[in-house]
């Protein structure tokens, strides 16, 4: 359904850009676990975590996507 427990509390949902529908379980797992933690591990090993923060903030584009959103082809939207 495109939500983690934290996103449910915050009233947010993750959508797939190509299909314009909420991300499914597999896409959410890719986005939340595989991509994000892989990037955190790689960047923190190289730059002690500073690179992760800089990369996450600098990769915001017009859709307000972070690096892991770009890789997973998702976008986070507010759903009040």
Does 45 have pLDDT greater than 80?
A: no
Question: How far apart, in whole angstroms, are the C-alpha atoms of residue 50 and residue 30?
Answer: 23
Label the pairing between strands 21-22 and 74-78: unpaired
Q: Which carries the bigger pLDDT value, residue 68 or residue 9?
A: 9
The pLDDT value recorded for residue 22 is 92
Q: For residues 35-60, give the mean pLDDT.
A: 67
Does 12 have pLDDT greater than 80?
A: yes
pTM attached to this predicted model = 0.67
Question: How far apart, in whole angstroms, are the C-alpha atoms of residue 41 and residue 9?
Answer: 27
Q: For residues 52-80, give the mean pLDDT.
A: 76
Label the pairing between strands 12-16 and 74-78: antiparallel
Q: For residues 30-37, give the mean pLDDT.
A: 78
């Amino acid at each position: 359904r495109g939500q983690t427990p934290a996103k449910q509390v915050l009233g947010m949902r993750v959508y797939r850009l190509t299909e314009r529908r909420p991300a499914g379980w597999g896409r959410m797992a890719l986005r939340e676990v595989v991509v994000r933690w892989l990037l955190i591990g790689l960047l923190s090993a190289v730059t002690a975590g500073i690179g992760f923060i800089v990369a996450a903030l600098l990769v915001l584009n017009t859709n307000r996507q972070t690096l892991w959103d770009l890789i997973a082809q998702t976008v986070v939207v507010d759903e009040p």
